[in-house]
A and B are shown apart, each in its own frame.
Chain A
Amino acid sequence: DSGVTQTPKHLITATGQRVTLRCSPRSGDLSVYWYQQSLDQGLQFLIQYYNGEERAKGNILERFSAQQFPDLHSELNLSSLELGDSALYFCASSGTSGLSHEQFFGPGTRLTVL
């Protein structure tokens, strides 16, 4: 158990819909990262937040957005969903924005878009 929790575990929705994935980092971790894992693209970094502020952006689509709240939990919002958005979405956390070389990954949310 990494200490990172993600809800829900599974989500099934239809094209065009909007969903919100939630992540609670390990106690004390200030950085939260979101990753997408699909069969064709592999594991891709989407976005990072540190202590409530966006710190780094990866291959995140404009239809996707995220935020980190004062209690440090984070949400990833996916809108205008397409079939290709079906994937595993992982959240990871780490201790600081600099010098922390270990990211702790949650169990993931499996999103299926029908």
Chain B
Amino acid sequence: DAKTTQPNSMESNEEEPVHLPCNHSTISGTDYIHWYRQLPSQGPEYVIHGLTSNVNNRMASLAIAEDRKSSTLILHRATLRDAAVYYCIHDSGGGADGLTFGKGTHLIIQP
């Protein structure tokens, strides 16, 4: 099983950047890194994915270490609506298969 390690929880203040770390030391060359988040009482929601290069989209940025054994999801300016469980997923199926979710990081945003 592709395994990732994330902190159980993190706390940040509103309107500040948030850096959510993830270790995926067993990653191989063609495995993608996906991030999803799950807001309370909702289904998971795609945030971003990457392979080797850093990636940006309207929701977040993904910084991938040079050795690809870790990555960081960056929320540039957290809002209260970003409070959620964030899942880092190491995907060896090329994006086509079912995702293996770990326990994720519970992000708490303080006003």
Contact = CB atoms under 8 A, between A and B. Distances in A.
Interface string A81-106: 00000000010101011111111111
A94 B33 CA distance: 17
A99 B101 contact: no
B64 to A, nearest CB: 14
B86 to A, nearest CB: 13
A31 B46 CA distance: 16
Interface string B30-51: 0010101010001111100100
Contacts, number: 67
Interface string A17-47: 0000000000000010101000000111111
Does more than half of chain B's interface fall in helix, strand or loop, or is it mixed?
loop
Interface of B: 32, 34, 36, 38, 42-46, 49, 87, 91, 93-103
Given A100-B95, A103-B44, 19 more contacts: A33-B98, A35-B101, A42-B101, A42-B103, A43-B38, A43-B87, A43-B101, A47-B98, A90-B43, A90-B44, A94-B96, A98-B95, A99-B95, A99-B96, A101-B49, A102-B49, A103-B99, A105-B45, A106-B43
